[in-house]
Amino acid sequence: MDLVEAQFLLDHLNSTESEGEQSAILDLMCQIKAPLPIDALMVILEDRETSTVFLRQGVAHTLAVVQAEDALDLFLSVLMNHNEDAWLREMMTDDLAIWKERIPNEILLTLLADSELGVVTSALSVLREWPPDALPLERVLSYCTHEEGYVRKAAIKALLAASLRIPPGPILSALHDPEQEVRAAASHGCISLLEW
């Protein structure tokens, strides 16, 4: 990997429209030791006119993996912009787990109230990485009865991260959920309750 130059990869990234090639190039960028052209990658992330959503998401993920501190403000700006593509924001929310403590808690708490349910479920997933005593139980509990099954499932899984602080009621109620995936998450929750 030391023989691959970052500028070579950037040139190829800019010259291809193939999503498969773009993905492979960005994967290589995550692995090389040479400094990446962070400014050029930031231009791609910011470019809503000529860069595809897929490419922008791949670049955002790459910036997160390499912990590009200079790009963090732009990353958060794109993420918090409700005019951005919902899928892009959802995937970027998933990447908050990579940034870890560099992300202020307020950002994730704001995303829990987002109008896009995909962003909310991704935020619930990231919450699972928080320390159990820091988990905002009331916010998570409010999603345990959401009308969408995939949101309930994400909330049950996030609730399990609270370990000993888990109120058993929502887990037991979810065992009777009409959605099989929610019931399965609740079943795992019951097993966890028994282990504690």
- Please, what are the domains in the chain? 1-101 (1.25.10), 104-196 (1.25.10.10)
The two three-digit tokens of residue 186, written as one number = 């609740």
pLDDT tens digits, residue range 62-84? 999 999 999 999 999 999 999 99
Residue at token pair 């099954």: 149
CA distance 59 to 42: 8
145, two tokens: 């009865």
pLDDT tens track for 135-154: 898 999 999 999 999 999 99
Residue 2's pLDDT is: 57
- Give me 32's structure tokens: 């090389």
Who contacts 98 (Cβ-Cβ below 8 Å, separation ≥6)? Answer: 61, 64, 65, 67
At position 165, the amino acid (one-letter code) is R
Q: Looking at the whole model, is its pTM more than 0.75?
A: yes
Q: Return per-residue pLDDT of the chain as tens, 196 residues.
A: 556 788 899 999 999 999 999 999 999 999 988 889 999 999 999 999 999 999 999 999 999 999 999 999 999 999 999 999 999 999 999 999 999 889 999 999 999 999 999 999 999 999 998 888 888 989 999 999 999 999 999 999 998 887 766 777 888 889 899 999 999 988 887 776 666 5
What phi and psi, each to the nearest 5 degrees, are found at residue 59?
-65, -45
